Amino acid sequence: MMRIFLFGAGYSARAFARIMAGTTDFIGGTTRDNDKFAALKQDGITPFLFQGTHASQEIVGALEQVTHIVISTSPGQTGDPVHAQFGETIRSGMPKLQWIGYLSTVGVYGDYGGAWVDETTPCHPVSARSVERVDAENDWQKLADEHKVPLAILRLGGIYGPGRNAFVNLANGTARRLNKTGQVFNRIHVDDIARALRFLAERNEGGVFNITDDEPAPPQDVVAYAAELMGIEPPAETHFETAELTPMARSFYGENKRVSNARIKKLGFAFRYPDYGTAFSMMWRDGSWR
């Protein structure tokens, strides 16, 4: 039986824990906030406090028996905090480790002017946070090679799911329809991230995998479709050039590409939500958008 540890038990990692419930001996997970302990326990996760400054002995002790780890934390200017604090423990204090999963982003590819990219496409990250992601991917690959365990790097599209989607934004009045000519994004439902993690972990499969939908689409179309399902008028389109945006929001539009997910499909994985139309129709019908 697997014994799993989640570094960064946030939105995606908690979805993974929920679908693994009952199939594992143990699922541990870190948070920086004591107030989140109760919610993690509800998802079947034994909570641990991530100090951010040093490797706590409580986590080091738990890792001794762990077979599979998932890293779902963001690196910073000083590198990946999990790698910095627990790299040595993972390298030498985890005799039962069989597999490492690292949640990354399709942002590592950079801008390809709307062209298709796959896992063999060179990474030319544009934003500082994507440069940090590439460095983190390389650090984890080096550690996995030294430990002689497979590392699966999951490069994720824009994440949506319950509580995080265009329906919610329309309902609370924050939805926008930004139009930048030719701009498309890939998306991914959080349940498909969880299912892809399970698929790769159960096979101890290593490699780089794009975990995205089949249909890179203009963001304004997604909002319009959600409004149509809700039976309301969508917000008016705003042109990107004149829109008031935070620097981070603007930086997302500095990259334009269509991301292929063919590699994981060739292994036999099937996406439950292959495009936003299928996903939004199901979410609206069953109420899982809330």
212-226 in b/e form (b: 16+ CB < 10 A) is bbbbbbbbbbbbbbb
Spell out, as residue ranges, where the chain has pLDDT lower than 50: none
User: 109 vs 25, 122, 123, 185, 188, CA distance in Å?
Assistant: 37, 7, 4, 13, 17
Task: Give the chain's domain count.
Answer: 2
DSSP string, 123-177: PB--SHHHHHHHHHHHHHHHHHHHHT--EEEEEE-EEEBTTBSHHHHHHTT---E
pLDDT at position 249, please? Answer: 87
Element (H, E) at 29: strand 24-31
Residue with tokens 């986590």: 59
* 59 plus 46 within the same structural domain: yes
Question: Do residues 42 and 178 share a domain?
Answer: no
User: What is the overall mean pLDDT for the chain?
Assistant: 97
Domain shared by 50 and 97, yes or no: yes
Range of the domain at 207: 2-158+187-211
pLDDT for the residue 264: 98
> How high is the pLDDT of residue 220?
97
In this prediction the pTM is 0.97
Looking at the structure, tell me whether residues 153 and 71 fall in a common domain: yes
Q: In terms of domains, do 62 and 203 share one?
A: yes
Regarding whether 237 and 144 lie in a shared domain, the answer is no
Give the burial class of 268: count Cβ atoms within 10 A of its Cβ; 0-12 exposed, 13-18 middle, 19 or more buried: exposed
Q: What is the DSSP letter of 241?
A: G
pLDDT at position 248 is 86
Residue 127: predicted pLDDT: 92
Evaluate whether residue 269 is within a structural domain. Answer: no
Q: What is the pLDDT of residues 44-89, one digit of tens each?
A: 999 999 988 889 999 999 999 999 999 999 999 999 999 999 999 9
The identity of residue 107, as a single letter, is: G
Q: Return the bridge partners of 6, or none.
A: 29, 70
Cα gap 122→108, rounded to integer Å:
9
The whole-number pLDDT of residue 84 equals 96
Question: Do 228 and 124 fall into the same domain?
Answer: no
Same domain, 141 and 234: no
Contact 47, 31 (CB under 8 A): yes
**How many CB atoms sit inside 10 A of residue 196's CB?**
24
